[in-house]
Amino acid sequence: MPSLIDIRRRVRSVRNTQQITKAMKMISVAKLRRAQERALAARPYRTTLREILANVAQAAAQSGADVHPLLAVRPENRILSVVVTADRGLAGGFNSNLLRMAQKFVNENAAKGLSFELIGRKGRDYFRRRSRNIYGEYTDIFRNVRWEDAERIANSIIGRFANAEVDAVYLFVNEFKSVVAPNLSMTRLLPIEVPKSASAVDYIYEQKPEELLGSLLPRYVRIQIYQALLESAAAEHAARMTAMDAATSNATDMISKLTLYMNRVRQASITREIIEIVSGAAALE
């Protein structure tokens, strides 16, 4: 049976851990609001750009222009996977669930040439340990998600695909769905699948439609990467807030159980001392 000193030391340790988890929860709550606002504010831009792209692509197709390199469909013998994880842990299953989905994709395409663009330290460490072909690594992105970083990553991806170094690019990311749970997403980023326009808009083009399409397609890839970074940042803060809230509640329960156990041990010790005193007094009579 542990001594009272050991139990008190354990209670003190759990209480210190509780203070840390509570502080981390409050930090995530403060950061989540801004990250959520940025992610939601960028969604209409992506949606509108997608609609414009559909109309411009339709006009370019009618003009009989050549297929843009970012639209070229080839047999998927060489695949580039862009995996967006966090730089830190302590966020529940935020990183592990996404990496599990990415690993399943890797197993299903083991016979093909796979390479990786890894955003976030957790994903980088995971695939480094498995000696994968890592083309690019990007860490400390989520301290402050910037358009410049998304543009740099997207330009690297666009260059590899346009030069036929890879035949397809897939994006793995935790999209922000709600505070309770993120939405695991795997999408084919390249070649771009131009959506069908539901209602064609009769634009008046100063440039030729194919020239305008050539400038819109790279921008569309960049906004996809930027949106993925914003979504992942918001989902990470939400996951960490939920995880730290659960950890704080578990620490409270553990402190209550340890306190109850400590009281029982102390009561048993007092009872034993009383019995020894009474027995000693009886022996002296």
Q: Summarize pLDDT for 83-138 with one digit per residue, the tens.
A: 999 988 888 888 999 999 999 999 998 888 899 999 999 999 999 998 888 888 99
**39/84 same-domain check:** yes
Residue 253 lies in domain: 4-24+243-284
**159/208 same-domain check:** yes
**63/197 same-domain check:** yes
**112/193 same-domain check:** yes
**146/231 same-domain check:** yes
Q: Percent of the chain having pLDDT more than 90?
A: 27
Average pLDDT of the segment spanning 167-195: 85
Q: How many domains does the chain have?
A: 2
Average pLDDT of the segment spanning 37-57: 84
**11/77 same-domain check:** no
The enclosing H or E element of 192 equals none
**Bigger pLDDT: 5 vs 149:** 149
**203/278 same-domain check:** no
181 to each of 187, 232, 254, how far by Cα in Å?
19, 12, 25
What is the edge-to-edge ordering of all strands in the sheet holding 113-119?
134-138, 113-119, 78-84, 168-175, 183-190
**17/67 same-domain check:** no
Q: Which CATH number goes with the domain that contains 274?
A: 1.10.287.80
- pLDDT per residue over 12-37, tens digit each? 888 898 889 899 889 888 888 888 88
Res 227 pLDDT > 90: yes
**208/277 same-domain check:** no
**277/166 same-domain check:** no
- Rounded CA-CA distance 10/257 in Å is 11
What's the pLDDT at 203?
64
What's the pLDDT at 103?
92
What pTM, to 2 d.p., does this model score?
Answer: 0.83
3-state helix, strand, coil in the chain (%, to 5): 60, 10, 25
- Rounded CA-CA distance 123/72 in Å is 29
- Rounded CA-CA distance 230/174 in Å is 10
**154/165 same-domain check:** yes
Q: Which CATH number goes with the domain that contains 85?
A: 3.40.1380.10
3-state DSSP assignment of residue 203: coil
**184/249 same-domain check:** no
